[in-house]
Amino acid sequence: MRITFLGHAGFAVETAGALVVMDPWLTPQGAFDSAWMQLPRNHHLAPRVKELLETPGKERFLYISHEHKDHFDPEFLATIAKRDFTVLVPRFRRSELRDIFEKYGCKRVIACEDSREIPIKGGYIKIFVSEQGTNRDSSVMVRGDGQCFLNINDCKMHDRLVRVIAEEGPIDVFSAQFSGAIWHPTCYEYPEAQYSAISLKKRDSKFEAVARALEVVQPRAYIAAAGPAAFLDPALFHLNFQDVNIFPRAPVLFSYLEKRMPTLPTRYLEPMPGDVLDAGSLEFVSQVPERVTTENFQEYLHTYAKDMAYVFRERRRNLMREEVDEIHGRLRTELQRKLDLLDLHDRVGMPFYVELTEAPTRLLRVDFKARRVDEVTEMRDKSRYAMKVSASDIVRVLDRKLNWEDFLLSFRLRLSRNPDVYEPVLHGFLGVEVEDIREFCDGIRATEAQKERTVVEAGGKRFTIQRFCPHQGADLAEGWVEEGRYVVCPRHRWQFDLQNGGACKTNNSTLCAEPVADKPEKVERGGDKAPADKVPAVDKAPVEPPRV
């Protein structure tokens, strides 16, 4: 088995009988309205990937893990002329991805349910699907030539890894996201010290998730992929050079892992786009001459930004007053449509303000309790959530050139909230599409309906807790305990305080924890999974859950 790194989360895996191209993101336009660019740049690999997919001989597969545009690159895929290959996509409840490929004109499309195996000569491909409400992702495993590659990219399946490894056996090469990919705290108005503190906690939380995954998977090699993007828009360029943020590079991760697990035999690899790894020997059989290092990083980014400056010159323009007025009206209509479908609206106790930078005295105020969107001249509520955005940016959402989540990931907005607490319904209202609002609400109710409980041991005491995380339903039987009191969710690393009824440290979620007597009665868990109390407590610094 040979694994060619295509950049970001992209790979081309070749066995004796098959080729699997995974998440090729190669367009020079980047992703999320060009806010994200590939780091290191990989646009030059597009002809090579096209050649691989167009050349007959081996059975050829294109795998797309989910809809995010740093994984699903329609611009590049449109350039492929010969499409006599098979496309593998996860079978999500929402059929958008498979509908797109049904019209693509390829040999066939296989929409894979969770744990679907696709046989290949001398092995198989296996797809793992993760879907919680409107959060959709998947992972892929390729076994062939006596080797196995597991690529979970940025799929939140850490709570399933124990079962996967038990069922699938040894993994030679493993890859998982290690960098942040969210707008908190990146877009929030925080004092510098607070911004750095939040970023550091989130960064270390992500690193700890990778460390625990490696302890479970025990691969011979780990490829650091799905790392930070390059932010080349002049308005975002400073993000590349902040002392602390949620976008660390691989050497920082490797330093953490070496200190955290000094005896782990896993090799840590940071390939450049175009490097080819032999999965048997774990040696690179081919490496590209250009290497991005800590020493040349700043120079590399400045050159890259200069080369891509034309992209940002072309996307900016000044708006006439009449255009701003029209956008303002359309945005108000869009917010009202969302609000009309949000049947959990009464859970949000604070208003949401939206300010267009071109119309600072015409704020939109979303009143969730009253289900109204009004125009006001100023923010009068002390408790509030607020967004400031340019009309020239938000109109791309209204024109359906971007969806709401892609817009948030473009980082071309500023956010603030008081109190500084994650509110899941408000967060979903902002990031979910109009047509997904009902499904979003149903997903919250479905998660809340899971009443199964399990037992954990912490600080020498036993507690019964809800088995599934109230955030997105992760199985806490695969979680762990920190500081003798905090149950940590394996998927998003939320912390729940057993000494405070199982309350989350940074929002209003709870596991409804209750102490158990010294001789506890048998607790019905109703599943075949190991109870969470089998996971040993660890004495580590607390990791604050993401507050996005």
- DSSP states along 5-34: EEETTEEEEE-SSEEEEE-----TT-BTTT
* pLDDT tens-place string over residues 70-90: 999 999 999 999 999 999 999
Give the integer Cα–Cα distance in Å for 466 and 510. 9
Question: Global pTM?
Answer: 0.90
In this predicted model, which residue has the larger pLDDT, 530 or 324?
A: 324
* pLDDT tens-place string over residues 409-433: 999 999 999 999 999 999 999 999 9
Compute φ and ψ for 370, nearest 5 degrees.
-85, -10
Structure tokens at 513: 């924890």
In this predicted model, which residue has the larger pLDDT, 517 or 427?
A: 427
Checking if the pLDDT of 138 tops 90, the result is yes
Give the integer Cα–Cα distance in Å for 373 and 333. 8
* pLDDT tens-place string over residues 139-148: 999 999 999 9
Band (531; pLDDT cuts 50, 70, 90): very low
Checking if the pLDDT of 387 tops 50, the result is yes
Give the C-alpha distances (Å, rounded to integers) separating 110 from 87, 220, 312, 314, 343: 6, 30, 37, 38, 35
**Percent of the chain having pLDDT more than 90?**
82
Q: Quote the pLDDT of residue 518.
A: 67
* pLDDT tens-place string over residues 256-290: 999 999 999 999 999 999 999 999 999 999 999 99
Region 3-11: mean pLDDT is 99
Which residues sit opposite 537 in a β-bridge? Answer: 481
DSSP category for residue 186: T
Checking if the pLDDT of 309 tops 70, the result is yes
Give the integer Cα–Cα distance in Å for 382 and 174. 48
Among 20-24, 46-50, 538-542, which stretch is predicted with the lowest mean pLDDT?
538-542
Checking if the pLDDT of 249 tops 90, the result is yes
Checking if the pLDDT of 524 tops 60, the result is no
Band (450; pLDDT cuts 50, 70, 90): confident
Region 30-53: mean pLDDT is 98
Q: Quote the pLDDT of residue 474.
A: 84
In this predicted model, which residue has the larger pLDDT, 448 or 358?
A: 358
**Percent of the chain having pLDDT more than 70?**
94
- 3-state percent helix, strand, coil for the chain, nearest multiple of 5: 30, 25, 45
Checking if the pLDDT of 104 tops 90, the result is yes
- Pairing status of strand 486-488 against strand 495-497: antiparallel
Q: Quote the pLDDT of residue 471.
A: 84
Checking if the pLDDT of 494 tops 90, the result is no
Q: Quote the pLDDT of residue 528.
A: 36
Q: Quote the pLDDT of residue 402.
A: 95
- Pairing status of strand 173-177 against strand 221-225: parallel
Which domains does the chain carry? 2-311 (3.60.15.10), 321-443 (3.30.1050.10), 450-538 (2.102.10)
Region 440-456: mean pLDDT is 89
Checking if the pLDDT of 8 tops 70, the result is yes
Q: Quote the pLDDT of residue 538.
A: 36
Q: Do residues 151 and 215 lie in contact, with contact meaning Cβ atoms separated by under 8 Å? A: no
Neighbour-count burial for 160-188, b at 16+ CB within 10 Å, e otherwise: bbbbbbeeeeebbbbbbbbbbbebbbbbb
Region 449-458: mean pLDDT is 89
Q: Quote the pLDDT of residue 314.
A: 77
Residue 277's identity, in one-letter code, is L
Region 150-161: mean pLDDT is 92
Residue 302's identity, in one-letter code, is H
Checking if the pLDDT of 529 tops 90, the result is no
Residues 6+ apart with CB under 8 A from 288: 272, 273, 274, 275
* pLDDT tens-place string over residues 329-350: 999 999 999 999 999 999 999 9
Checking if the pLDDT of 379 tops 60, the result is yes
Q: Quote the pLDDT of residue 519.
A: 56
Give the integer Cα–Cα distance in Å for 102 and 96. 10
